[in-house]
Chains A and B, each alone.
Chain A
Amino acid sequence: MSREINIPSNRRWKTAGWYILAYGVTLIILLPVLWVCFLSFRTSSEILNNPFSWPESWSMENYKRAFATLDFFILYKNTVIVAIATIVLEILITFMSSFALTRMVFKSKKMQNLIQLYFISGLAVPAFILIFPVYRITIMLDLLNSYWSLILPYIATAIAFNTLLFTGFLRGFPKEVEEAAIIDGSGLYTLCRSIVFPIITPVVSTVFIFNILYIWNEFPFAVTLISDAAKYTISLGISQFKGAYSIDYGGTLAAGMLLIVPQLIFFGIFQRFIIEGMTAGAVKG
């Protein structure tokens, strides 16, 4: 009798232990973010001298100062312009090339495979090796401090992954519908736009999410290619935050929070897609 009662209660303890462990570990992992969020409502002197005391009032001063020092409207605007232009153009051109690589008939099949391999090999190239050469190219093209200086390398670094994703996806679809459309007289443009492009829309969302986060966070290219504050992207702007006279800890933290809050909201909404997309991207990369 006692055994029969013991087993479930033992199991319940185990489940409870599991819960506590899972929630506890998560809390520890989030602790640095929560701590900094807490500090962003404290004055700089409290941060330095007495960070643990519970604040008597939650001060918005840091945020006001962050807004006064950095023009967040411009930072968000620049980032969004670069992101949208990059994403639209890269989807357009990599769709075109993936269409050619999977649907069009080359004189030499070998050449077709070779070009595809050439694009996908880009996955093995780390971005850091590109920074200085891209800087030189940007000077040569006289694009320094322009949106294009960032848009072009961002598109280029996305080509390998997009090619992998798009060609893989297009190969999985039968061509009969398209052939029928051609017989009905539709040209290349109509075919691409109204028949083939819709096929890849499910992976377009992956590309979109992947790139918007990448561009939002991207720092090495931005810090190298942009020195004009009017063209700063958000990550670059935050990294350049300094107080007027001394290091402004409170203001810097508030600025950091203003960088991550939009992306946390974005993550909250699309988390399922993001986790799946980023994981797939990493595994394939």
Chain B
Amino acid sequence: MIWLSKRKSIFVMLFPTLLLFTGYIIFPIIISFYYSTTKFTGIGTPEFVGFSNYKLLLGDSFFWVSLKNTFIILGVSLVLLIPFSFMLALLLNRTFKGSDALKALNYTPSIIAPIVVGLIWVFVLDPQMGLINILLVKLGLGNLTQMWIGGKALAPYSIGMVFVWQQLGFIATIFLAGLKMIPRDVYESSSIDGAGPKEQLWYITVPMMNETNRIVVVLVITNVFKIFETVFMLTGGGPNHQSEVLVTYMYNTTFTSAEYGYGMAISTIAFLLTMLFSIAYLKLSKSNFEGEGG
């Protein structure tokens, strides 16, 4: 291979990828940090203000609301999405008539355009014309109807539910792949030792899914921080920013209010939080895992 490895040809082969990657991924991260230390409204030159945007954030109640909402969605996802998708995986982990079709059908929500996912759920959650409230009224349970979206309290939970719906089949498929990797003879020898299906689930399946669990938790964390379209379609962040998540608040601050410097400070914080949570979880689960192993 050395014959063809002239300096010039190596450079030619690497150049387009290097240029685009640096120009559109790495350089932007640097730019957004740079803007976060400036005051810039799109006209004139950005004025350097140091860390004062970050200081302003600390006193910005909308920022805290959007942070709280993001964490509510994260909480809903960790509490509901992970166990439910694991159960769905167990349910689909047998071969029966139509099991392949069911796997595909459950996967569908995660390939539908997020913008349409938002649209679909408007017609399920809307207090006046949404499916849930209409059904409740029809069933004579009219007093249970709620302001699922559009109110103040429930919107982040509803957005969390939509996220759970969207990701359920997808996460279940990852669990399914993990289940397939558990060697069959572990189950066989344990049933010779008299373990029933329940014991097998608790003492074999769940512990042996450790690696998969790690992947899933990191995926859920990073995906929660990416939620944008559903909020955009369901509430637009309103009323009065009460249902914003970090990314929509960043977007609205940047593009609707044209406060570019401030928006980039939010963006930087959201980015750091995603990284921090994923790394912290990986570290924690790894030390736990090794602790158990030893």
Q: Which residues in A have some Cβ–Cβ distance to B below 8 Å?
A: 15, 18-19, 21-23, 25-26, 29-30, 32-33, 35-36, 39, 47-48, 51-52, 93-94, 96-97, 99-101, 103-107, 115, 118-119, 122, 124-134, 136-137, 152-153, 155-157, 159-160, 163, 175, 178-179, 182, 187-188, 191, 213, 216-217, 219-220, 224, 234-235, 238-239, 249, 252-253, 256, 259-260, 263-264, 267-268, 271, 274-275, 278-279, 282-283, 285
Chain B residues whose C-beta falls within 8 Å of the C-beta of A264 in the assembled complex: 108, 112
Is B154 located at the chain interface by the 8 A CB criterion?
no
A191 to B260 Cα, complex, angstroms? 48
B20 near A152 with CB under 8 A, answer yes
14 contacts between A and B (CB under 8 A): A22-B102, A107-B7, A127-B226, A129-B32, A131-B251, A133-B35, A137-B28, A217-B114, A238-B119, A260-B112, A264-B112, A267-B104, A279-B173, A283-B177
Q: Which of B74-82, B264-272, B284-292 lies at the binding interface?
A: B264-272
In-complex Cβ contact of A275 among B99, B104, B215 (8 A): B104
User: A263 contacts B111, CB within 8 Å?
Assistant: yes
B1-57, CB < 8 A from A:
1-5, 7, 9-10, 12-14, 16-18, 20-21, 23-25, 27-29, 31-32, 35
> In the complex, are the beta carbons of B25 and A283 less than 8 A apart?
no
Residues of B within 8 A of A217 (CB): 111-115
In the complex, the answer to whether A104 meets B4 with C-beta atoms within 8 Å is yes
In the bound complex, residues from chain B placing their C-beta under 8 Å from that of A99 are: 13
Contacts of A97 in B (CB 8 A): 13-14, 16-18
Taking A26-B105, A279-B174 as contacts, is the C-beta distance between A128 and B17 under 8 angstroms? no
Cβ–Cβ < 8 Å partners of B13 in chain A: 96-97, 99-100, 104
- Contacts A125-B29, A129-B32 aside, 20 further interface pairs with beta carbons under 8 A come to A97-B14, A100-B10, A104-B9, A105-B1, A119-B21, A122-B21, A128-B251, A128-B271, A129-B271, A130-B24, A134-B28, A137-B31, A157-B24, A182-B4, A217-B111, A219-B113, A224-B255, A234-B113, A268-B104, A278-B170
Contact A134 B24 (CB under 8 A): yes
Q: A152 contacts which chain B residues (CB < 8 A)? A: 20, 24
A132 touches B271 (CB 8 A): no
Chain A residues within an 8 Å CB radius of B116: 238, 256, 259-260
Contact check, B268 vs A124: say whether CB atoms are below 8 A apart.
no
User: How far is A278 from B172 in the complex, measured between Cα atoms in Å?
Assistant: 13
**Are B173's CB and A126's CB within 8 A?**
no
Cα(A178)–Cα(B27), bound, Å:
36
**Contact of B124 with A188 in the complex, beta carbons under 8 Å:** no
Q: Is A219's CB under 8 angstroms from B123's CB?
A: no
What distance in Å separates the Cβ of B171 from its nearest Cβ neighbour in chain A? 9
| Interface of B: prevailing SS | helix
Distance (whole angstroms) from the CB of B83 to the closest CB of chain A? 14
Q: Are A271 and B107 in contact (CB under 8 A)?
A: yes
Query: B109 at the A/B interface (Cβ < 8 Å)?
Result: yes
Complex: A157 Cα to B29 Cα, angstroms: 13
The answer to whether A187 touches B4 (Cβ under 8 A) is yes
Given A128-B270, A217-B113, A271-B104, answer yes or no on A256-B119 (Cβ-Cβ < 8 Å): yes
Among B21, B102, B120, contact of A36 (Cβ-Cβ < 8 Å): B120
Indicate the member of B25, B107, B119 with the most A CB atoms within 10 Å.
B25
| Set of chain A residues within 8 Å of B250, measured between Cβ atoms | 128
Contacts of A48 on B, CB cut-off 8 Å? 128-129
**How many angstroms from the CA of A179 to the CA of B2 in the assembled complex?**
10
A35 touches B131 (CB 8 A): yes
- Per the bound structure, the CA–CA distance linking A213 and B264 in Å amounts to 28
**B168 touching A29, Cβ below 8 Å:** yes
Contacts of B232 in A (CB 8 A): 219, 239
Residues of B within 8 A of A155 (CB): 20, 24
In angstroms, Cα B4 to Cα A175, docked, is: 13
| A239 pairs with B28, CB closer than 8 A | no
Minimal beta-carbon separation of B283 from chain A (angstroms): 15
Give B174 Cβ to nearest chain A Cβ, in Å: 6
Among the listed stretches B58-66, B88-96, B141-149, B183-191, which one makes contact with chain A, having 4 or more residues with CB under 8 Å of it? B88-96
Whether the Cβ atoms of A133 and B1 lie closer than 8 Å is: no
